[in-house]
């Protein structure tokens, strides 16, 4: 059985309330976890604050060397990370192996090798000839990270790596449901040479650990990923501290299929968009918007592929259907699904789970609901599960109007054989990412984040790195600057 203690000042800390982690795959005991309280969280913050004094003076090269060593360790332990991620979250081992861990490795590589980020640049002052300016991108200080339970490894990478790269120290709160890979990453960073206190990992209830991070004056930036409602509460808690807030919140992403799209490729893309990790991804394409004259052909093809999806134990490499990470979430999915039926939605197809699914696991059958109007709750609220709603539209403008009729704006997809047509439609959609003839492809070099109530700020890419910096301007005066002499004369005039 795995045992997870909080990681503070370079040491594993097993003080605190002990709780049992259940694997969603079969309900068995996966591990033991020691929950941090407010005092333990403050201890982690103090450790990070002390470590910042030295770490902030390290060079960019030194920091990237540590990340490069981490990269080698994670590559060596890829199978270990994949097993931990699947056993803890319920996702299929195939997804953990070929997506989550593979992407995590490539994203660590990006931060370890990127040349995009520079710590300073020279500028000219057009008003003051002969002077020189240097713009510096300095670390914020202690950065707090609050991660959700759905993709713990990637969330840990996305919150830790850019903050360390830019010279900050970090206190990370992974979900108390899925802390396994975050703690593994912390241990491997220590082995890679990260000094004690630069990264601290504490986990517990959001109302305790998360609130302590939000309210702490010592936390100068807070990166939060979770639901929109929780994000608003976190923002209120942090409001009095004037810390920088980065938030990646909920989504209800439209996957739009135009009538000239390739039916077979699109059907696979739509299924990938919604059923990856059983729909438990904030950018999941949970709203299928399909042009009227394409609807029947596309749904028939979707059903064809859904009938061939294999249920079973997610730790079997042949299994296609993963578990729901928590029983609480499974119950929420079922409640929203039932509400949809009450509102008039029809079950177009639901994949019956076979007897090979572990009996005590947390599962919900992949389901397609048709005859869904955009006014229904299931079309507006985030289900965060393997339920796809289907709404048809007549024109491209109609599709954009339906897509944008949502409080969310995280992601979207557009499928068409005509790239110009797809791009024109993508330009009309209010979301931070729009995939054209693809879905779920997240690049370390590309900024990720939402419009409207899907968040503020960006993760990944140079935009995401810069979020963890504050800008300083150094102005170097010069005897050649005649305007400077004139300016000083406004206060101190030359005497005859």
Residue 495's pLDDT is 66
231 has a pLDDT exceeding 70? yes
Residue ranges covered by each domain of the chain: 2-249+454-474, 254-436
Would you say the C-alpha torsion 393, 395, 396, 400 has a positive or negative sign?
Answer: negative
Class of domain 2-249+454-474: alpha beta
pTM score above 0.85: yes
- Closest Cα to residue 137, out of 115, 119, 121? 119
177 has a pLDDT exceeding 80? yes
Give the chain's mean pLDDT.
97
What digits encode the pLDDT tens for the residues 382-421?
999 999 999 999 999 999 999 999 999 999 999 999 999 9
455 has a pLDDT exceeding 80? yes
Residue 356's pLDDT is 86
167 has a pLDDT exceeding 70? yes
pLDDT band at 15 (very low <50, low <70, confident <90, very high): very high
Residue 1's pLDDT is 84
pLDDT band at 496 (very low <50, low <70, confident <90, very high): low
Give the Cα separation of 341 and 19 in Å (integer). 37
CATH 3.40.50.920 fits 254-436, yes or no: no
What digits encode the pLDDT tens for the residues 92-130?
999 999 999 999 999 999 999 999 999 999 999 999 988
- Asked if domains 2-249+454-474 and 254-436 share a fold, the reply is no
Residue 58's pLDDT is 98
Catalytic site positions: 248, 282
What digits encode the pLDDT tens for the residues 137-164?
999 999 999 999 999 999 999 999 999 9
Residue 32's pLDDT is 97
Residue 487's pLDDT is 81
User: Any idea which residue has 């803890």 for tokens?
Assistant: 88
Q: 478: phi > 0 → left, psi -120 to 50 → alpha, else beta; which?
A: beta
pLDDT: which is higher, 130 or 317: 317
């Amino acid at each position: 059985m795995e045992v997870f203690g909080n990681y503070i000042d370079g040491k594993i800390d097993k003080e605190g309330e002990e709780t049992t982690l259940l694997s969603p795959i079969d309900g068995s005991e996966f591990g033991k976890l020691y929950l941090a309280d407010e005092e333990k969280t403050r201890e982690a913050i103090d450790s990070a604050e002390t470590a910042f004094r030295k770490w902030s003076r390290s060079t960019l090269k030194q920091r990237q060397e540590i990340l490069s060593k981490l990269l080698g360790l994670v590559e060596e332990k890829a199978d270990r990370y994949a097993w931990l991620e699947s056993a803890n979250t319920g996702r299929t081992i195939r997804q953990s192996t070929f997506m989550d861990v593979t992407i995590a490795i490539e994203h660590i590589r990006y931060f370890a090798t990127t040349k995009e980020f520079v710590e300073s640049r020279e500028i000219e002052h057009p008003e003051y000839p002969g002077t020189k300016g240097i713009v510096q991108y300095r670390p914020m200080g202690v950065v707090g990270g609050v991660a959700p339970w759905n993709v713990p490894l990637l969330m840990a990478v996305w919150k830790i790596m850019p903050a360390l790269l830019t010279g900050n120290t970090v206190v990370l709160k992974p979900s108390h449901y899925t802390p396994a890979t975050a703690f593994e990453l912390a241990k491997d960073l220590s082995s890679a040479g990260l000094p004690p206190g630069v990264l601290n990992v504490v986990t517990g209830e959001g109302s305790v650990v998360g609130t302590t991070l939000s309210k702490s004056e010592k936390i100068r930036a807070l990166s939060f990923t979770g639901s929109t409602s929780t994000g608003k509460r976190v923002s209120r808690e942090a409001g009095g501290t004037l810390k920088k807030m980065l938030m990646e919140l909920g989504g209800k992403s439209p996957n739009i299929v135009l009538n000239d799209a390739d039916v077979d490729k699109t059907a696979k893309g739509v299924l990938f968009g919604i059923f990856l990790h059983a729909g438990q991804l904030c950018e999941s394409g949970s709203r299928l918007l399909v042009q009227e004259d394409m609807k029947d052909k596309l749904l028939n093809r979707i059903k064809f592929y859904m009938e061939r999806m294999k249920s079973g134990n997610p730790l079997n490499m042949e299994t296609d259907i993963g578990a729901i990470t928590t029983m609480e979430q499974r119950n929420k999915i079922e409640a929203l699904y039932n509400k949809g039926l009450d509102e008039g939605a029809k079950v177009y197809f639901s994949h019956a789970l076979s007897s090979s699914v572990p009996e005590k696991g947390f599962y919900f059958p992949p389901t397609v609901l048709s005859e869904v109007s955009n006014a229904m709750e299931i079309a507006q609220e985030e289900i965060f599960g393997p339920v796809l709603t289907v709404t048809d539209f007549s024109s491209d403008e109609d599709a954009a109007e339906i897509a944008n009729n949502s409080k969310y704006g995280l992601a979207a997809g557009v499928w068409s054989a005509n790239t110009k047509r797809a791009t024109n439609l993508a330009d009309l959609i209010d979301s931070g990412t729009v995939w054209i003839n693809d879905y779920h492809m997240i690049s370390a070099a590309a900024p990720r984040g939402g419009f409207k109530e899907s968040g503020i700020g960006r993760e990944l890419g140079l935009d995401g790195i810069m979020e963890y910096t504050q800008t300083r301007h150094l102005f170097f005066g010069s005897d050649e600057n005649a305007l400077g002499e004139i300016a000083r004369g406004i206060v101190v005039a030359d005497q005859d």
